[in-house]
Amino acid sequence: MESVARCAAGAGQALPPPRALHFCILKTPPVPGGFHGWGRPLTGPPIWPPRSLVLQSPTAGPGLTTSFGRGGRERRTEEDIMSAVMQRSEPEAQGVESEAILAFLDAVEAEHLNLHSLMLVRHGHVIAEGWWRPYAPECRRYLYSLSKSFTSTAVGFAVAEGLLRVDDRVVSFFPEDLPPVVSDNLAAMRVVHLLTMSTGHTMDTLMALLNPDAENWVRAILALPVELPPGTHFLYNSGASYLLSAIVQKVSGQTVLDYLTPRLFEPLGIVGATWDVCPRGINTGGWGLSLKTEDIARFGPLYAQKGVWNGQRLLPPEWVQAATSAQVRNDGPGRENEPVDWRQGYGYQFWRCQHGAYRADGAFGQFCVVMPAQDAVIVITSETGNMQRVLDLVWEHLLPAMKLAPLPPRPATQERLRERLSSLALPLPPAQPLPPRARDLSGRRFRVEPNDLAVRSVAFSFEDDSCVFRLWDGRTEHRIVCGNGAWVRNEAILPIMRPSLMHLISSTRREALVQVAAHSTWQDAQTLVMTWRYLETPHADTVTCRFVGDVVEMEVASSMADPNNPLLAGLRASLTGTLELEG
C-alpha cells in the first residue's frame, strides 16, 4: 500500500522538507435539527426505512449513478481508486478569506492546542491543507471515536441493501450469546438505540470489554444490566458501536472494514485503511479505524452532498439526513457541565454542533466537521485536551470567512498562506553540541534492574547529529534513532512504548511495528531527553535519562498521562540501569 511503503521507505532517515500544501472545506444542504424527547421514547421523524420498506436502488437523477442495492459490485483497481483526486483551489475562488485561515493558524498555535493536520474543503475543492512537522500526508491516523461514524455508514449500506432495519431487535442477531434471563429492557433494545446511544445503560459498556477475560465481547455486553427503557436516556457508549459492527458482520458475513471497502473506501479513493478487531475478529466499531487526513476529507463531502460522491450516489439521502439529524437530546440531567458542542443533539453516531453543523469526532481532537449551510468540511487531527476550544476557533475565524460568492484574488495573502502551510512544525529544540559525558558513555551498555516491562539492558550511541538508543528485552534488540535538532523517522515497537490508549488497555501484547519520529536534546550536561512521536496516533512519549555516576535513571512519560484519571495514570514507567564493566 502506498502510504505504508512511503512511511517504511523513510525508516531511520531524517524527514524531508515539507511540501507546499493547501487547505480544504465542503457542502451540505441544511439538516433538520428537531430534538426528540429527553426522558421519553424517541419521537419525531420516522425510523428510516419503515419496516414495510426494503430500499432498492433509487432513481439516481440526471447525471447521477447509484452503487447501492443488493446487486454485485464491480471491484476497482488501485489505479482507478487513486485516480479519484480531490480538486484544489485558492480560498478566495471558493469565497473564503485567506486572511481568516492565517488568523485561525495563529490562534491555535498561540493557545498551544497541538494540531497535527488540517484540511479545509469548500464547494468540493480543497482550499487549504497543512501538516505540523513531523506529521505528514502519507501516514495514517488512529481516529479513536471518529470511527463510529464509519460504522454508522456501514449500517446505512446494510439497511439500503435490505440486510437489516434500524427497528430490528438487538437480541434477534445474537441468540447464542444471550444471558439466561433476558430482561424486558434488553428485549426492547433495537438497532436505532445503538445508533443513538440510547440503549438504556447507565454506564459505558466499553468497560466490560477491558476485562482480559472478555473473549466474547457480544456476550459480555448483553450480560450487563439495562437499567432504563431503551430510547429514554442518552449515554455515550462505545460498546453500542461495537454491537453495530458485530451486527453488520452477522448479516453480511464480512467485517465492517471488508464490507465498506467496495461500497465506501474504493469509490472515495481510500486505500490502506486498517481497523482494530476484538478477540473474535470483529472490528471494534467504536474506535480503531486508521485513515489518512485526506481520506477523512473525502468522507465529509460524501455526507455534505447527501450521499453523492463525484456524481455517483453511494448512500441514500434519507439515511444521510437521519444519521446527521438530532435524533436524541444530549443536554439533559447530568450533562449540564458538558461543553456546548456536546449538548446540541446526537444522530446516528454523529454529533450535532452549533451553527447548524454536525461532526464525527474522536478522542484527543480528531474532527470531521460538516457545515451544510456553508457547503464546507473541516478536518483536523490533533492531540488536544480542549476539543471545545478547537471548535470555538473554527466558529470564530473560519465560519465568518465563508462568503456566498467568490472573492477577488489576493495574491500576496495567498502566498503568505501557502508559505505558512508548508512550514508548519511542532516546536523542536535546535541542535546542540554533545557534552563530554556523552562521548564517555557512547556505546556502553547499562544492565536494567528487574521490571514489569521485561527490559534487560539499554545502550546509547552518540554522534554529532544523532543518538541511537538500543534496548534488549531478552528476545531481541530494539533501536530508535533520534535526531539532534531534527526528526528522524523509525519503524519500531519497544516494550516501553504505548502508541495509543488502546495499546495501554489491550490485554494482548501488540507486535506490529509503528512509525516513530524521534529527536533528542541534552537538557543539561547529565540529562538526555528523547521525544518519540507516534506518527499514526496523536501521541508521543518523552524519555528522560539522567546519568549519575555509573547509573542511568530513565522515566518514560506518555503525552496521555493524567494522574487524575485512573485509566491514564499508569502511562509512566521508571527504569534504573547500572553501567556494565568493559571487557
Domains of the chain, by residue range, sit at 436-579
Cβ atoms 512, 493 nearer than 8 A: yes
Largest CA distance in the chain: 82
The pLDDT profile of the chain, 583 residues, written as one tens digit per residue, is: 333 333 333 445 455 444 333 333 333 333 333 222 223 333 333 333 433 323 323 333 444 444 444 434 555 655 555 556 899 999 999 999 999 999 999 999 999 999 999 999 999 999 999 999 999 999 899 999 999 999 999 999 999 999 999 999 999 999 999 999 999 999 999 999 999 999 999 999 998 988 888 899 999 999 999 999 999 999 999 999 999 999 999 999 999 999 999 999 999 999 999 999 999 999 999 999 999 999 999 999 999 999 999 999 999 999 999 999 999 999 988 899 999 999 999 999 999 999 999 999 999 999 999 999 999 999 999 999 999 999 999 999 999 999 999 999 999 999 999 999 999 999 999 999 999 999 999 999 999 999 988 899 999 999 999 999 999 998 899 999 999 999 999 999 888 887 888 776 664 456 678 999 999 999 999 999 999 999 999 999 999 999 999 999 999 999 987 777 776 776 778 999 999 977 5
Nearest 10 degrees: CA dihedral of 425, 428, 431, 436?
Answer: -160
Residue with cell 540501569: 577
* Residue 105 vs residues 21, 348, 362, 420: alpha-carbon distances, Å: 14, 31, 21, 9
Contacts of 104 (CB under 8 A, 6+ apart): 393, 394, 397, 398
Report d(CA 542, CA 529) in Å as an integer. 7
R_g of the chain, CA atoms, integer Å: 25
Cβ atoms 375, 383 nearer than 8 A: no
Q: Which residues of 294-320 are buried (b: 16+ CB within 10 A; e: fewer)?
A: bbbbbbbbbbbbbbbbbeebbbbebbb
* Residue 217 vs residues 153, 206, 207, 208, 281: alpha-carbon distances, Å: 22, 9, 11, 8, 11
Among the listed residues 78, 139, 21, 24, the one whose alpha carbon sits nearest the alpha carbon of residue 375? 24
CATH superfamily of 436-579: Calycin beta-barrel core domain (2.40.128.20)
Q: What are phi and psi of 264, to 5 degrees?
A: -125, -55
Report d(CA 64, CA 276) in Å as an integer. 34
pTM of the predicted model as reported, rounded to 2 decimal places: 0.87
CB atoms within 10 A of CB 502: 17
Among the listed residues 252, 181, 259, the one whose alpha carbon sits nearest the alpha carbon of residue 222? 181
Q: C-alpha grid cell for residue 235?
A: 449515554
DSSP line for 440-465: HHTT-EEEEPP-TT---EEEEEEETT
